[in-house]
Amino acid sequence: METVATVGLTNKAELSLAYTPGVAEVCEAIAADPSLTRHYTWVPNTVAIVSDGTAVLGLGDIGPAAAMPVMEGKAVLFKQFGGVDGVPICLATTDVDEIIETVVRLAPSFGGINLEDISAPRCFEIEDRLKERLDIPVFHDDQHGTAVVTLAALVNALKLTGRNAESTRVVISGAGAAGVAIAKILLEAGIKDLVVTDRKGVVSSERHDLTPSKKALAEMTADLTGRSGTLADAFVGADVYVGVSGGTIPEEVVATMADDAIIFAMANPNPEVHPDVAHRHARVVATGRSDFPNQINNVLAFPGIFRGAFDVHASAITEGMKVAAAQALADLVGDDLSEEMVIPSPFDPRVGPAVAAAVSAAARRDGVARI
């Protein structure tokens, strides 16, 4: 990574324009009207990529210094696939209040905040409180990027298997950041029969060991259908399995799913159901890995989502914007839809612009666009 100027700086006149005395004209204009920051600085095209290093990849709590390579990589992806400038910021604190106060104080320098690799359930509170305090997009990619791409792939998998959302039964294993966000976006998209499981089984209010975030999740999912029990119980007759948990699902459990099942086993590097096993019992199989077809990859979502939000100077990223991004991704597959392709490639040059356009339009519909 490097910082590169977008204007020439080769003579006295250019230096006087870019810095003193010329720069003072812009400073005075912004002091008189702070909204001009969006027109005369890099702020509206720049995202802070913020982590505390507590949930880095599959490596866990490895600290802020070790998280920096991932944040740098994220910044490169933002630039390559969305034309968005990203600044990695790794914080030497895991205290929720300190993280929130630090980001709030940094916010004037950025057009948006991308939270990254912050462990659950802390990540939910951090995101929610930052959304309340800031008038720029705040987006936890481990939650919402994963959810958007999962929904996009599921839209096409349902189409391929002749299902509709309202009558499809979905099981999600993993009640952390990704599992919660996937559950919410699937409900928003029309899925009615949905359960989420953790290590102790179905997340249901019948249990007395639920955290506040899991209690809220139970009320939106299993409580509505009266489902409870073990992961194996949930699998019986299920149409769709979404794995964001790790571990291994026994093949005899996978075999109890409905005909023409859909399996998205996204743990990395070892999917919860290996594709060789999954293909024996499912019609559509996706993973988080690049060496198998149908990779559920966040890079399909976050660059275009921020590009679209920035293009209309959005004050937030809404559920409608996320669903619109997912539908745009699903639509790109078009006539190429098959068991081996329910989601486009990250290298498809149409991805970023299509997602950005859909997100911008949704921002206007949802009333958060400022231009």
CATH number of the domain at 78, please: 3.40.50.10380
Please, which pLDDT band fits residue 321 given cuts at 50, 70 and 90? very high
For 10: left if phi > 0, alpha if psi spans -120 to 50, otherwise beta; the answer is alpha
Was 311 annotated as part of a binding site? no
Indicate whether 116 belongs to any domain: yes
Q: Which of 136, 165, 199 is a domain's end point?
A: 136
Q: What is the pLDDT of residue 213?
A: 85
User: Strands 201-202 and 193-198: what pairing?
Assistant: antiparallel
Question: Taking residues 140-144, what's their average pLDDT?
Answer: 89
Indicate whether 128 belongs to any domain: yes
Residue 27, C-beta contacts closer than 8 angstroms, at least 6 positions apart: none
So which residues are the catalytic ones? 19, 74
Taking only the tens place, the pLDDT of each residue in 81-109 is 999 999 999 999 999 999 999 999 999 99
Q: Which of 95, 120, 136 is a domain's end point?
A: 136
Indicate whether 244 belongs to any domain: no
Indicate whether 289 belongs to any domain: no
Q: Which of 107, 136, 165 is a domain's end point?
A: 136
**Do residues 256 and 169 make contact, with C-beta atoms less than 8 angstroms apart?**
no
Indicate whether 361 belongs to any domain: yes
Indicate whether 173 belongs to any domain: no
On average, the pLDDT of the chain sits at 94
Indicate whether 75 belongs to any domain: yes
Was 116 annotated as part of a binding site? yes
Residue with tokens 């078009």: 334
Was 335 annotated as part of a binding site? no
Counting Cα atoms < 13 Å in the Cβ hemisphere of 67 gives 26
Statement: residue 176 has pLDDT above 90: no
Per the structure, the complete domain to which residue 112 belongs is given by 42-136
Indicate whether 126 belongs to any domain: yes
Was 268 annotated as part of a binding site? yes
Total domains in the chain come to: 2
